[in-house]
């Protein structure tokens, strides 16, 4: 189980303000049980996963390079799972 996460100022001041329905618990659930993970060119890590409360829409969670510090999160209706 992951402890309460660190967050960036952007996450606290922009993401949670713009998307007040988001819950940190949902982000943590995605980090613990993601279906897809991708490292961006800038080193940040994208995770996709599902939470019941979003009615089947995947949630994209972006962390800093450490894989734990929350930087961004949003429902990603354009997500297509890759076959690996």
The 10s digit of each residue's pLDDT in 72-81 is 999 998 888 7
Q: What is the pLDDT of residues 12-64, one digit of tens each?
A: 999 999 999 999 999 999 999 999 999 999 999 999 999 999 988 999 999 99
**Residues 5-27, buried b or exposed e (16+ Cβ, 10 A)?**
eebbeebeeebbeeeeebeeebb
pTM: 0.89
Q: Two tokens at 9? A: 């100022």
> What is the Cα Rg of the chain in Å?
12
Domains of the chain: which residue ranges?
9-75
User: Which residues neighbour 73 within 8 Å (Cβ) at sequence distance 6 or greater?
Assistant: 11, 15, 19, 22, 26, 27, 30, 59, 60, 61, 62
């Amino acid at each position: 189980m992951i402890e309460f996460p660190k967050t960036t100022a952007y996450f606290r001041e922009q993401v949670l303000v713009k998307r007040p329905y988001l819950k940190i618990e949902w982000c943590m659930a995605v980090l613990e049980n993601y279906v897809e993970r991708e490292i961006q060119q800038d080193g940040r890590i994208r995770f996709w996963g599902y939470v019941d409360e979003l009615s089947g829409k995947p949630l994209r969670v972006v962390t800093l390079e450490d894989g734990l510090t929350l930087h961004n999160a949003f429902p990603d209706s354009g997500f297509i799972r890759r076959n690996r």
